[in-house]
Structure 1
Amino acid sequence: MGKVLVLNQDYSALSVCTVPKAFLLVYMNKAEMLAESSSDYLRTVSSEYPSPVVIRLNRYIHLPYRGVVMTRHNIFKRDGNRCQYCGTHDNLTLDHVIPKSRGGKTNWDNLSTACKRCNSKKGDHTPEEAGMFLRQRPFRPSFLMFIRDFSGLADENWLPYLGSRERARS
Structure 2
Amino acid sequence: MFRAELIEKVARFRYAQDDPASNLSACPSLVLNADYTPLSYYPLSLWPWQTAIKAVFLDRVDIVASYEREVHSPSLDMKIPSVIALRQYVKHSEFPAFTRFNLFLRDRFQCQYCGSGSHLTFDHVIPRRLGGRTTWENIVSACAPCNMKKGGRTPGQAHMHLAERPIRPTSWQLQQQGRLFPPNYLHETWRDWLYWDIELEE
Mapping of 1:1-170 within 5 angstroms? 1-2=27-28, 4-8=30-34, 16-20=45-49, 21-33=51-63, 35-36=64-65, 40-45=67-72, 46-52=77-83, 54-57=84-87, 59=88, 65=93, 67-150=95-178, 152=181, 156=191, 157-159=193-195
Distance 1:55 1:86 in 2: 41
Distance 1:101 1:129 in 2: 14
Whether the aligned pair in 1 keeps the contact of 2:52 and 2:81 (CA below 8 Å) is: no
Q: Which runs of 5+ in 2 are unaligned?
A: 1-26, 184-189, 198-202
* RMSD of aligned residue pairs (Cα, Å): 3.2
Larger radius of gyration: 2
Over residues 28-59 of structure 1, what are the superposed CA-to-partner deviations in whole Å (9 max), with x where a residue is unaligned?
A: 321224x537xx4452144434411x5132x4
Secondary structure, aligned partner of 1:114: strand
Distance 1:108 1:125 in 2: 18
Over residues 62-84 of structure 1, what are the superposed CA-to-partner deviations in whole Å (9 max), with x where a residue is unaligned?
A: 77x45321112221222222211
Cα 1:126–1:18 shift into 2, 3 Å: same
Q: Which moved more, 1:125-134 or 1:113-122?
A: 125-134
Distance 1:49 1:128 in 2: 56
Secondary structure, aligned partner of 1:44: strand
For normalisation by structure 1, the TM-score amounts to: 0.69
Distance 1:41 1:148 in 2: 31
Distance 1:22 1:91 in 2: 36
Pick the structure with more strand per residue: 1
Whether the aligned pair in 1 keeps the contact of 2:38 and 2:194 (CA below 8 Å) is: no
Matched residues, percent identical?
Answer: 32
Please report how far the alpha carbon of residue 4 of structure 1 lies from its aligned counterpart in structure 2 after TM superposition. Answer: 2.5
For normalisation by structure 2, the TM-score amounts to: 0.60
Whether the aligned pair in 1 keeps the contact of 2:104 and 2:141 (CA below 8 Å) is: yes
Secondary structure, aligned partner of 1:22: helix
Cα 1:62–1:143 shift into 2, 3 Å: closer
Q: Which moved more, 1:23-32 or 1:69-78?
A: 23-32
Matched length: 154
Q: Give the partner amino acid of 1:36.
A: A
Whether the aligned pair in 1 keeps the contact of 2:33 and 2:39 (CA below 8 Å) is: yes
